[in-house]
Structure 1
Amino acid sequence: MIEILLYSVLIMLASLVGVFSVWRRAGRAIERNLNLLVSFSAGVFIVIAYQLGIEVVEHSATLGSGLVWIVIGLLTVWLLFKFLPSSHHHHDEASETHPHSRLDARRIMASDALHNLGDGILLATSFAVSSSLGMLTALSIFVHELVQEISEFFVLRQAGYSTKSALILNFAISATVLLGALGGFFLLESFETLEVPLLGLASGAFLVVVFHDLIPHSVRSSRHENLYWRHLLWFLVGMVLMFVVSTFTAH
C-alpha cells in the first residue's frame, strides 16, 4: 500500500517537474512559439492515442470489443463537448501578446484524466504481482508523464490559461492516477476489469483532441504565419520523441 501511494505521488510530480524544468530554461522562447509547440503536442498525443488503442486491442477478448470502446470514447467526448458551452478563462500578461485561440482544452484534460485512471489501475495491478514489476511500471509511467504533461501544458497555455492555472490544472488531473491506484488496490478484481474500457475511452478521446482541436489549430496557424514546413517538422518531432520514449519504456 505504501509503495503504491509513494510511486503514485512521484508520477503526479512529473506534471510539475517536467514543466518547471522546461519553463525555467526556455520560458520566453516557449511563449513566442506556442503555435509551433501545439503542433509538437499533436504529434505526441497522436502516438499516445495509437499506443493506447493497440494496448486496448491486445487486452480485449476480441478485436471488435476493443474497437468498440475506442469508438465509444471518440463519440462520447465529441458529443459531450459539442453540446457544452464554450469554456471561459483569463489570460495573464504574457499571453496577451498572442491572439485568442479557439482551442478548447477541456477535451484534452478529460482524455488525460481517463488515461491516468487506467495507469493507476495498471500500477496497482503490477505491485500486486511483485514489487520489482511495480517499480518498473512506475518508472515507465513517470517517463511517459514527463513528455505528456509538458505537451499538455503547451496546449493549456495556447488555449489561454495562465501559467499558474495551467500548472494547477496539470497537477490536479495527474492526481487521477492516485485515484486509479487506490481503487485498484482496494478493489483489484473490479477495477482491473475497468482498465481496458478506460484506456479505450482515453484512446478515442485523444483522437478527438488531435483531429478536432490540435491539427486544425496547427493548420490555421500555419496558414496565418505561412510556416507550413515548421509546423509539420514540429509535429514529426513530437511523434518521433513519443515513439522513442514509448519504445524504451513500454508498460
Structure 2
Amino acid sequence: MSTLVWIIGASLLGGILSLLFAAVLTLNTSAAWVSMLVSYAIGALLGAAFLNTLPEAFEISEDPTQVTAMVLAGILLFFILEKLVLWRHCHMEQCEAHDPLHGYTAVTATNEHDYGRSGSMIILGDTFHNFVDGILIATAFMADIQLGIITSIAIIAHEIPQEAGDFIILLNSGYTRRRALLLNILSSFATLAGGILAYFMLHKLDHLILPLLGLATASMIYVAMSDLIPGLHKRPEIGATIQQVTLILLGISSIWMVNNFFAHAH
C-alpha cells in the first residue's frame, strides 16, 4: 500500500472516529447537561492548548518569543473577529450591546447561547488545528509507516475529548445538534487537506505549521477564557463552583492522560 493511501486513510479515519466518539458522548445529552459540561469543555480546551499545541509549537521553533508573539497576535485576531460577529448580529437585530436590559433578560432567562460567537471562533481554530494534524500525519508516514500509524492513533485519541468539548461549545452557542455535527464534519476535512498537501509539497508547508499551531492555541485559550469562563461566574454558589472546578480538571486530565500515554508509546 502506497504512502499516499496510508495518509488519506489515516486522515479520513481520524476525523470520522473522533467525530463519532465525540457525537456519542455529547449528542444525547440534555440542555441542562450541555450547560454543565461547558466546564469540561473549558478544561479540554485549556488542556489541548497548554499540553498539546503550545508544546508542539515550542518544539518546532528555536525562539520561544516567536511562539508567544504568534499566540498573542492570534488572541488579538480572535478578539477582532468576535467583534465583527457581534457587530453583524447587532446590525441585524436587537442585542445586548445596544440594549442592556434585553441582554440581561436573554442571558438570565435562557443561559443557553452567546449568539454563536464562541462557536464561530472554535470552528475556525479547530480547522487550523486539523490542518496541522494532517501535515503531522503525512510527515510521520513519509518518514516511517509504523511511526505514521502510532502518530495517527495519538492524534485520533487526543481529538476525541477536544471534539467533545467543541460539540458542547457549539450547542451552548445556540447551534442545533445537526448543524453542530455538520460543522465539525466540514472542519475535520482540513485534516485530509493538510495530509494530501503535505505529501505533495511538504517543503513548502513547513513554514505554515508554526503560525497555524499559534492560531489554534490562541483560539482555544481565547474561547475558554473570554467566552466560556465568564458564564460560570453566573453561578457563584459553593456547590456549583466545586462542580465547575471538578469538570475543568476532568477536561484537562483527559488531554493529559492521552498525551502521556502516547508519549510513552513513542
TM-score (norm 2): 0.83
CA contact (8 A) 1:15 1:149 kept: yes
Partner residue in 2 for 1:68: 69
Taking the aligned partners of 1:207 and 1:38, their CA distance within structure 2 comes to 14
Gaps of 5+ in 2: 93-108
Which of 146, 161, 178 is 1:132 aligned to?
146
Taking the aligned partners of 1:120 and 1:62, their CA distance within structure 2 comes to 24
The within-5 A match list for 1:36-115 is 36-51=36-51, 52-84=53-85, 85-86=88-89, 99-102=111-114, 104=117, 105-115=119-129
| Cα distance, 1:141 vs structure 2 | 0.5
**4+ residue stretches of structure 1 with deviation over 4 A?**
none
- Cα root mean square deviation, aligned: 2.2
| Cα distance, 1:198 vs structure 2 | 0.8
| Cα distance, 1:190 vs structure 2 | 0.9
Taking the aligned partners of 1:83 and 1:23, their CA distance within structure 2 comes to 29
**Worse-matched range after superposition: 166-175 or 13-22:** 13-22
Letter in 2 for 1:9: L
- Total equivalences in the alignment: 239
Taking the aligned partners of 1:113 and 1:142, their CA distance within structure 2 comes to 15
Taking the aligned partners of 2:38 and 2:222, their CA distance within structure 1 comes to 15
Gaps of 5+ in 1: 89-96
Deviations 1:190-234 (A, max 9, x none): 1122111110111112111111111112222x2499722211211
CA contact (8 A) 2:26 2:164 kept: no
Deviations 1:2-59 (A, max 9, x none): 11000100011034311343257xx24x432212101100001001111311221221
| Cα distance, 1:155 vs structure 2 | 1.1
Taking the aligned partners of 2:230 and 2:238, their CA distance within structure 1 comes to 14
Taking the aligned partners of 2:31 and 2:17, their CA distance within structure 1 comes to 21
Which of 178, 198, 203 is 1:189 aligned to?
203
| Cα distance, 1:99 vs structure 2 | 4.0
CA contact (8 A) 2:67 2:214 kept: yes
Who wins on radius of gyration, i.e. which is larger? 2
Letter in 2 for 1:66: V
Partner residue in 2 for 1:93: none
2:249 equivalent to 1:236: yes
CA contact (8 A) 2:71 2:214 kept: yes
